[in-house]
Amino acid sequence: MSTVKSKKLQVGTDATSSNNFTIYQPATPDGTLRIGVGNADSPTEVGRFNSSGYVATNAPAFSAYNNTNTSFTANTLTKIIFNVEDFDTNSNYNTTNYRFTPSVAGYYQVNLSYKMETVANRTVLSIFKNGSEYKRMIDVQSTYTRYTSGSCLVYLNGTTDYIEAYGLSAATLSGVANSLNQFSAYLARAA
C-alpha cells in the first residue's frame, strides 16, 4: 500500500516509520529523486538519483598526509603520523590519534603510501584494524630511499571498527614529512 503526499510517495504503512520508505523530490526541485527511510512527513535520505544515476549519500571518504616526521625504532611496527586532512567527508578521521572510524558499515578501499629514508634496509607498511595488524601492504628490501605503497579492502562495522597506518624499518630512522605521503579510504560498498 502506498501513500502520496505532495511530491512524496511513501511505500509502506507500518506503524514503525523505520520500516517505511519514501521516494521524494526536494521542496525546491534540483534534478534529483531522493530515497528515504521513514514516513513521507520526515524521511531520512539514504540515496538519490540524478541524470548520472545513483548517488550514495553519507559515504565516508578521507585522505590525510603528514607535516610531522614519524620516528621508527628498528624492527618495531610504529603508527605513522598522518595529521593533516586533505578532506574528510563524514568527519570520521581523527588527526590526533591518526585513526579512521567510519560511521557507515561496509567494505572500504584503503590506500597507503609513505617515504622512508633508508638505505639497504627492510621497509614494511601495514594496515591495523582495531589495534592488530590486518593486512601487510608492502614488505620490501630497500636499496635506496623510496616511496612504498599498497592498498587493500577491509570490512568496517560502522560503529566500533577502526583502521590505522603502521610502518616498520630494519633501521632506526625518521620517516619524511611530506604532502605526497598519504593514508586514505573510501566506502566501496555498503554492507
Query: What is the extent of the structural domain holding 23?
Result: 2-56
91: domain CATH number is: 2.60.120.40
Check whether residue 20 and residue 100 sit in a common domain: no
Check whether residue 7 and residue 41 sit in a common domain: yes
Within 8 A by CB and 6+ apart from 52, the residues are: none
Last residue of some domain: 30, 56, 82?
A: 56
Last residue of some domain: 56, 81, 100?
A: 56
Instruction: Match 528515504 to its residue by C-alpha cell.
Output: 36
Check whether residue 93 and residue 177 sit in a common domain: yes
Structurally, the chain folds into a number of domains equal to 2
Check whether residue 35 and residue 73 sit in a common domain: no
Kindly report the number of other CB atoms within 10 A of residue 13's CB atom. 11
Check whether residue 89 and residue 45 sit in a common domain: no
Check whether residue 16 and residue 42 sit in a common domain: yes
Check whether residue 94 and residue 38 sit in a common domain: no
Structure confidence at residue 39 (pLDDT): 84
Check whether residue 50 and residue 70 sit in a common domain: no
Structure confidence at residue 153 (pLDDT): 97
Cα 44 → chain centroid: 22
Q: Residue 154: in which H helix or E strand, if any? A: strand 146-156
Q: What is the dihedral angle through the alpha carbons of 151, 154, 156, 161, rounded to the nearest 10 degrees?
A: -70
Q: Which of 40, 37, 32, 35 is nearest to 4 (CA)?
A: 40
Check whether residue 158 and residue 97 sit in a common domain: yes
Instruction: Match 571498527 to its residue by C-alpha cell.
Output: 161
Q: Whole-angstrom Cα distance, residue 86 to residue 67? A: 12
**pTM metric for this prediction:** 0.75
Check whether residue 82 and residue 159 sit in a common domain: yes
Give pLDDT tens digits along the chain (191 positions): 565 556 787 888 877 777 888 888 887 888 888 888 888 888 887 788 888 887 766 789 999 999 988 888 888 999 999 999 999 999 999 999 999 999 999 999 999 998 877 656 778 899 999 999 999 987 777 666 667 889 999 999 999 999 999 998 888 877 777 778 999 999 998 88
C-alpha cell at 6: 505532495
Q: Which of 163, 187, 190 is nearest to 80 (CA)?
A: 163
Structure confidence at residue 119 (pLDDT): 58
Last residue of some domain: 11, 40, 56?
A: 56
Check whether residue 78 and residue 107 sit in a common domain: yes
Check whether residue 87 and residue 178 sit in a common domain: yes
Within 8 A by CB and 6+ apart from 79, the residues are: 70, 98, 128, 164, 165, 166
Structure confidence at residue 15 (pLDDT): 74
